[in-house]
Chains A and B, each alone.
Chain A
Amino acid sequence: SQQGEEDPQALSIQEGENATMNCSYKTSINNLQWYRQNSGRGLVHLILIRSNEREKHSGRLRVTLDTSKKSSSLLITASRAADTASYFCATDKTGANSKLTFGKGITLSVRP
């Protein structure tokens, strides 16, 4: 079963708008990570947030983590057409030999 569940499954926005994607998980984690996958390519690591952190920034990316609600959100500000991709959250579960468990992904389309 999937540990991380992303929401929404698909998102379409206009270039310049902000994109917000959510991830919920079920068990305690050491950290949560977000990855991007362009069509036909491998996944690329975007950002990692540890369980004792609440917010983290990297360029146009902002990720939050609420361990009480077992949820995370990824915000991409001022989106660009090049941000069109699938986005996955992955959880590093406590006591699970740190194997990453991935969600099913969110398809983001940014219209020029």
Chain B
Amino acid sequence: AQSVTQLGSHVSVSEGALVLLRCNYSSSVPPYLFWYVQYPNQGLQLLLKYTSAATLVKGINGFEAEFKKSETSFHLTKPSAHMSDAAEYFCAVRTSGNTPLVFGKGTRLSVIA
């Protein structure tokens, strides 16, 4: 069965610093991978998704993620953190059509002024 592992339940960065949130997947077939963001008291919203078209995926709010098959990873990055990036970030995977996304445990990002 497919799954994702997010390393680090909490990541803290300074404003302007690089953001790196880690996600590793487990799948026996080519996966479709997603990153979602959840702001306080809100639902999840899509940041970006990998659908095999390109290994480097650009999303909203300056985030991007790179699919690395050799490392079974799909880490999320942003060159310069803003205070508004403070939120919970979820990595998710799907390997079969029309089935639910399987979510990781989430990583809470704190941005320090």
A, B co-complexed: no
Which residues of A does B touch, CB under 8 Å? none
